[in-house]
Structure 1
């Protein structure tokens, strides 16, 4: 048994070497590393060409975006299992082996996923991700929230990808769109430990959250149109609430030059509208409003806490 690891990269000179190192250092060694150079204009290609490992295969194409790069990687993949990792994320050394073992122990499942921790631009721990455990039918849980959290997470049986590749028309939410299609047809299995280190950086923050909203709403509508969702329509408001909660905090956490107060208020209002119970939690409401209106105050408080630690 062997695994194809697909690495889409565009101008990733600052992080791609560390990402590839985390792949090559996996305890599961029977892998091919398919690097899709998506029209990089920096030193990315030079960096990856100078990594001496016969398992690496490099393919360069004109720039076409993340979904197209992943699909190009799928086309080139020759192994029984596929995993994706973005060129600024990292894996713990046992990630592939643990997920592969989980699929061996659960032959009815086609997707194994792990938990995520978040790191900064220096690869230092920031915070833990959600610790959501789902084994078996994951479709209803994914309709509500993307508990896989990112595209660098799952290990997938190649045969399951007959459902089709990533939607290249989506500006965002292409990951959850793929996971929903997989969950509509196959079982999932959870590896109960954090194995994906997802990098948060100021440059990776979305500068167009309204476009992200539009893509996410399209994916939600698509998900609830599947035959499997026929009896799950009551979950739609919960799904929308989770989306707008995410977008609210994304807007709040954006760097000052990208922050859009009115957009944050709009997201916050839709969060409340789709989950009126939130409005009863005065502490959550007050904190969210203050963060939107007085972001500098919270930044200074955070900096003070760090200085006192």
Structure 2
């Protein structure tokens, strides 16, 4: 590799990430494909994040420091600074699985009409299990009518598609569902796919923004889903149905006035989603949502 011509840029936004970021970067450094640059955007951290990154001493790592403007700004700064033909994402508390970059590069090289490629992933930390993502472009588009079709930390994107179409994370999301918004926009400019491999270990911990601010995330998901369905020529699913399918049933969701939907409501929401956009992926995803809501409801009753 020459310093001036990395093939892949790996973008890692970081804010007060001292606890986990070395693990994340090491998982990138150990990839079998090595013609890469690793761009860490330090978003105004006031802990030991920068020192932890510098301790690794790998010449492929570039640290960009900015004031604290949030994950959207940090990730976009990483996109703007990237020099690779492809841009891969991983968050500072997640882990890239071996062989991921090589597999995604091979796929995107042989599928030139594909703009973004992700993978399946597994949970670790406060939760465990593996999550399969929709594989084909058709399945990704079915999922996108209801929720994100990618695990953000698993994706590799074609940089030319991002730049040509001015595609970046949008500031109005405030960092809640910014990835879902981007996938909806990028779907208008290229095909999408997920590889049937575990390319990511997704760390679950209580300090995640998606856990603390779940209601803000759901609110953005409803708006993004509704707007995307309209652009795709589909009838939007009602906010109540989207909430029934995607919002975890909990005694403490961050909104004490909210009530959990009934299982009948969840099942009816799933049926309406399938009727609106019939397909294998729609059926699979809504069935999984219904099972998760049922499991959560049982746990609350115990």
- Secondary structure at the aligned position of 2:189 is classed as coil
Unaligned runs of 5+ in 2: 1-5, 273-285
Q: Which residue of 2 aligns with 1:167?
A: 170
TM-score of the superposed pair, with normalisation by structure 2 = 0.82
Counterpart in the other structure of 2:154? 153
Selected match of 2:269 from 263, 271, 274: 274
Displacement of 1:275 in angstroms is 3.5
Say which is worse superposed, 237-246 or 32-41, in terms of deviation: 237-246
Match in the other structure for 1:245: 245
CA RMSD of aligned residues (A): 2.9
> Normalized per residue, which structure has more helix?
1
User: What is the deviation of 1:203?
Assistant: 1.6
- Cα deviation for residue 106 of structure 1 reads 1.1
Q: Distance in 2 between matches of 1:135 and 1:77?
A: 26
Q: Which residue of 71, 77, 81 corresponds with 1:72?
A: 77
Q: Deviations over 1:223-260 (max 9, x none)?
A: 1232xx11x22xx32897455433125x46x7xxx666
> 1:194 maps to which residue?
198
Any idea what SS the aligned residue of 2:152 has? coil
Count of equivalent residues: 278
| Partner SS for 1:41 | coil
How far does residue 16 in structure 1 lie from its aligned partner after superposition?
0.1
* 2:180 corresponds to: 176
Q: TM-score, normalised by structure 1?
A: 0.80
Residues 145-173 of structure 1 deviation map (CA, whole Å, 9 limit, x = unaligned): 3231x211111110110332101111311
The Cα shift of 1:142 comes to: 1.4
Aligned pairs (5 A) from 1:1-309 = 2-120=7-125, 126-135=128-137, 138-148=140-150, 150-162=151-163, 163=165, 164-171=167-174, 172-204=176-208, 206-226=211-231, 229-230=232-233, 232-233=234-235, 236-237=236-237, 241=241, 244-249=244-249, 251=250, 262-263=257-258, 265=260, 271=266, 274-275=269-270, 287-292=295-300, 294=301, 297=302
- Aligned pair in 2 of structure 1 residues 240, 57: CA closer, same or farther (>3 Å)? farther
Using a 3 Å threshold, how does the CA distance of structure 1 residues 77 and 211 change in structure 2: closer, same or farther?
same
